[in-house]
Structure 1
Amino acid sequence: MFVSYRWLEQYINLEGIDPNELAEKITRTGIEVEGVETLNKGIKGVVVGHVLECEQHPNADKLNKCLVDVGEGEPVQIICGAPNVAKGQKVAVAKVGAVLPGNFKIKKAKLRGEASHGMICSLQELGIEGKLVPKEYQEGIFVFADDAEIGRDALELLNLDDHVLELGLTPNRADCLNMLGVAYEVGAILDNEVKYPSVELQESSEKAEDYIRVNVEAKEDNPLYIARIIKNVKIGPSPLWMQTRLMAAGIRPHNNVVDITNYVLLEYGQPLHAFDYDRIGSKEILVRHAVEGEKITTLDDQERTLKGDHLVITNGETPIALAGVMGGADSEVKDDTINVLLESAYFAGLSIRKCSKDHGLRSEASARYEKGIDPNRVRAASERAAALIAQYAGGEVVSGVVEENTLDAEPKRVDVTLAKINGVLGTELTVDEVTSIFKRLRFEAIADGEQISVTVPTRRGDITISEDLIEEVARLYGYDHIPTTLPVGESTPGQLTSYQEKRRRVRRYLEGAGMLQAITYALTSEEKAEQFALEVSKHVRLAMPMSEERSTLRLSLIPHLLEVVKHNIARQLDSVALYETSSVFLSKENQDLPTEREHLAGAVSGLWHMHMWQGEKKVVDFFTVKGILEGLFDGLGLAARIEFQASKHDGMHPGRTATISLDGKEIGIIGQVHPHTAKRYDVRETYVFELDLQTLLSADVEDVVYETIPRFPSITRDIALVVDKGISAGKLEQEIRATGGKLLKDVKVFDLYEGEHVEEGKKSIAFSLRYLDPERTLTDEEVTSTHEKVLEALHTKFDASLRS
Structure 2
Amino acid sequence: MLVSYKWLQDFLDLSQTTAIELADKMSRTGIEVEEVNTLQDGLKKIVVGYVKEAKAHENSDHLSVCQVDVGEEEDYQIVCGAPNVATGQKVVVALPGARITGNIKIKKNKMRGEVSMGMICSLEEMGFPENVIPKAYADGIYVLPSDANVGEEAYAYLGMDDPIIELSVTPNRADALSMMGVAHEVGAIYRQQPKFDKKILKETSSMSIQDLLTVRVEDEKDAPNYRMRVVENLTIKESPLWLQTRLMNAGIRPHNNVVDVTNYVLLLFGQPLHAFDYDKIGSKEILVRRGLPEETLMTLDGVERKVGPENIMITNGQAPIALAGVMGGFDSEVTEETTSVAIEAASFDPALTRKTSAQFNLRSESSARFEKGINLATVQEALDYAAMLMAELGDGEVVAGEIVASETLPEQIIVDISLEKINRLLGTDLLTSEVNEIFDALGFAYSENDEYYAIEIPPRRWDIKIPEDIVEEVARIYGYDDLPSTLPKGEALPGGLTVNQQLIREIRDILEGSGLSEAISYALTTEEKAGQFVIQHGENVKLASPMSEDHSVMRQSLISGLLTDMSYNVARKNLNVALYEIGNIFIQKEKKEIPEQRKHLALAITGLWHEKAWSETNQSVDFYLLKGIVENLMTMLGAENVRYEATVEYSELHPGRTAKMILNEEVIGFVGQLHPSMAKAYDIHDTFVCEIDLDILFAQELKNFDFKEVSKYPSVSRDIALLVDKNITNQQLIDVIRAKGGAYLKDVHLFDVFEGEKLGKAKKSLAYSLTFQNPASTLVDEEVTQAMEKISSALENNFSAEIR
One-letter amino acid of the structure 1 residue matched with residue 631 of structure 2: E
Matched position secondary structure for 2:125:
helix
Q: Are 2:446 and 2:456, in contact at CA under 8 Å, matched by a contact in 1? A: yes
The correspondence of residues 344-355 of structure 1 with structure 2, limited to 5 A, is: 344=345
- 3-state DSSP class of the match of 2:245? helix
Counterpart residue identity of residue 385, structure 1: A
- Percent sequence identity is 43
Question: Which of 770, 775, 778 is residue 772 of structure 1 equivalent to?
Answer: 775
| AA of the residue aligned to 1:388 | L
Distance between the aligned counterparts of 2:331 and 2:681, measured in 1? 59
2:443 is the counterpart of 1:442 = yes
Matched, 1:506 2:504: no
Note the aligned Cα RMSD (angstroms). Answer: 5.4
* Structure 2 length-normalised TM: 0.79
* Structure 1 residue 72: Cα displacement: 1.4
Structure 1 length as normaliser, TM-score?
Answer: 0.79
Distance change (3 Å), C-alpha of 1:214 and 1:375? farther
Partner of 1:155: 155
Map Cα deviations across residues 510-538 of structure 1 (whole Å, 9 max, x no partner).
221112346789989999999x9989999
Change (3 A) 1:693 1:106: same
**1:335 alignment partner, SS class:** coil
CA distance in 1, matches of 2:182, 2:211: 37
After superposition, the C-alpha distances for 1:208-264 in whole angstroms (9 at most, x for unaligned) are: 468656665659466766655545433221111110101111211112232223212
Structure 2 Cα separation of the partners of residues 340 and 674 of structure 1:
64
2:461 matches 1:463:
no
Partner SS for 1:155: coil
SS of equivalent residue, structure 1 residue 195: coil
Give 1:350 deviation, angstroms: 6.2
Distance 1:480 1:745, change over 3 A: farther
In structure 2, the CA distance between the partners of 1:279 and 1:693, relative to structure 1 (3 Å rule), is closer
2:716 is matched with 718
* 1:477 maps to 2:478: yes
CA distance in structure 2 between the aligned counterparts of 1:397 and 1:385, rounded to whole angstroms: 10
Structure 1 gaps of 5+ residues are: none
Indicate the SS of the match to 2:718: strand
Decide whether aligned partners of structure 1 residues 504 and 61 sit closer, same or farther in structure 2, where only a CA change above 3 A counts: same
1:657-682 Cα shifts (integer Å, max 9, x gaps): 87654346666666789999999999
Structure 2 CA distance for partners of 1:788 and 1:13, relative to 1, 3 Å? same
Structure 2 CA distance for partners of 1:182 and 1:645, relative to 1, 3 Å: closer
Q: How far did 1:392 drift? A: 3.0
* 2:156 match: secondary structure: helix
Q: Using a 3 Å threshold, how does the CA distance of structure 1 residues 615 and 55 change in structure 2: closer, same or farther?
A: same
Query: What is the alpha-carbon distance in structure 2 between the residues aligned to residue 647 and residue 309 of structure 1?
Result: 47
Q: Does 1:373 align with 2:374?
A: yes
Displacement of 1:37 in angstroms is: 2.7
- 1:662 paired to 2:663: yes
Do the aligned partners of 2:733 and 2:795 also contact (CA within 8 Å) in 1? no
- Which sections of structure 2, spanning at least 5 residues, go unmatched? 798-802
| Equivalence for 1:20 | 20
Equivalent residue, structure 1, for 2:637: 636
Distance 1:668 1:432, change over 3 A: closer
**Distance (Å, rounded) in 2 between the aligned partners of 1:463 and 1:361:** 30
Deviation per CA, 1:146-176, whole angstroms, max 9, x where unpaired? 2211111111111111222222222232222
Give the SS at the match of 1:150: coil
| Separation of aligned partners in 2, 1:243 and 1:320 | 27
* Residue matched to 2:236: 235
1:119-162 CA distances to partner (integer Å, 9 max, x unpaired)?
Answer: 11111111112221112111211111122111111111111112
Deviation at 1:302, TM superposition (A): 5.7
Are 1:292 and 1:307, in contact at CA under 8 Å, matched by a contact in 2?
yes
Distance 1:703 1:304 in 2: 66
Distance change >3 Å, CA 113–CA 562, structure 1 → 2: same
Using a 3 Å threshold, how does the CA distance of structure 1 residues 15 and 689 change in structure 2: closer, same or farther?
A: closer
Bigger Cα displacement from structure 2, 15-24 vs 126-135: 15-24
- State how 1:332-731 maps to structure 2 within 5 Å: 332-344=333-345, 362-397=363-398, 407-408=408-409, 411-484=412-485, 502-517=503-518, 576-579=577-580, 602=603, 608=609, 624-639=625-640, 641-643=641-643, 661-663=662-664, 688=688, 690=690, 692-694=692-694, 697-701=697-701, 704=704, 706=706, 710=709, 714-726=712-724
Cα pair 1:36 1:164 within 8 Å, conserved: yes
Q: Distance in 2 between matches of 1:465 and 1:548?
A: 34
CA separation in 2, counterparts of 1:477 and 1:612?
69
Q: Which amino acid aligns with 1:771?
A: N
Q: Does the residue aligned with 2:172 lie in a helix, a strand or coil?
A: coil
Output the amino acid matched with 1:257: V
Structure 2 Cα separation of the partners of residues 12 and 92 of structure 1: 32
Contact 1:223 1:404 in 2 (8 A): no
SS of the residue aligned with 2:477? helix
Please state whether the residue corresponding to 1:470 is helix, strand or coil.
Answer: helix
CA distance in 2, matches of 1:300, 1:155: 32
Looking at structure 2, the residues matched to 730 and 171 of structure 1 have their Cα atoms a distance apart, in angstroms, of: 62
Q: Which moved more, 1:18-27 or 1:478-487?
A: 478-487
CA distance 1:414–1:285, change in 2 (3 Å)? farther
CA distance in 1, matches of 2:209, 2:619: 94
Q: Which residue of 2 aligns with 1:82?
A: 82
Q: 1:166 to 1:585 in 2, by over 3 A?
A: closer
Q: Which moved more, 1:385-394 or 1:519-528?
A: 519-528
Which letter maps to 2:482?
Answer: H
* One-letter identity of the residue aligned with 1:718: V
Q: Residue 163 of structure 1 aligns to which amino acid in structure 2?
A: P
Letter in 1 for 2:269: Y
1:697-725 deviation digits (Å, cap 9, x = unpaired): 14521563756x64x96111323345545
Partner of 1:131: 131
1:382–1:83 Cα change, 3 Å: same
**Code of the aligned partner of 1:148:** A
- The one-letter code of the counterpart of 1:51 is V
CA 1:252–1:601 in 2, change beyond 3 Å: closer, same or farther?
closer
Equivalent pair of 2:605/2:689 in contact (CA under 8 Å):
no
Query: In structure 2, what is the equivalent of residue 179 of structure 1?
Result: 179
Separation of aligned partners in 2, 1:729 and 1:406: 76
* Letter in structure 2 aligned against 1:107: K
1:236-315 matches, within 5 Å, as 236-276=237-277, 288-289=288-289, 292=292, 299-300=300-301
Amino acid at match of 1:58: E
Of the structure 1 ranges 14-23 and 673-682, higher mean CA displacement relative to structure 2 is found in: 673-682
Which secondary structure state, in structure 2, belongs to the residue aligned with residue 771 of structure 1? coil
Write the distance in 2 (CA, Å) between the matches of 1:103 and 1:733: 80
Q: What's 2:800 paired with?
A: none
Q: Deviations over 1:735-790 (max 9, x none)?
A: 5787654xx59547698799xxxx999987655544324xxxx5x5x877865654
Number of aligned residues: 781
- Corresponding residue for residue 105 of structure 1: 105
Query: Could you say what secondary structure the match of 1:392 adopts?
Result: helix
Distance in structure 1 (CA, Å) of the matches to 2:204 and 2:163: 40
User: How much does 1:437 deviate?
Assistant: 0.4
SS at match of 2:25: helix
Do the aligned partners of 2:438 and 2:474 also contact (CA within 8 Å) in 1?
yes
Matched to 2:382, the amino acid is A
Q: Deviations over 1:624-649 (max 9, x none)?
A: 5454333212122121x234578999
Deviations, residues 60-86 of structure 1 (Å, cap 9, x unaligned) = 111111111111110111111111111
**Do 2:46 and 2:94's aligned partners in 1 also have CA atoms closer than 8 Å?**
yes
Question: Which of 108-117 and 660-669 deviates more?
Answer: 660-669
Supply the distance in 2 between the matched residues of 1:157 and 1:264 (Cα, whole angstroms).
Answer: 22
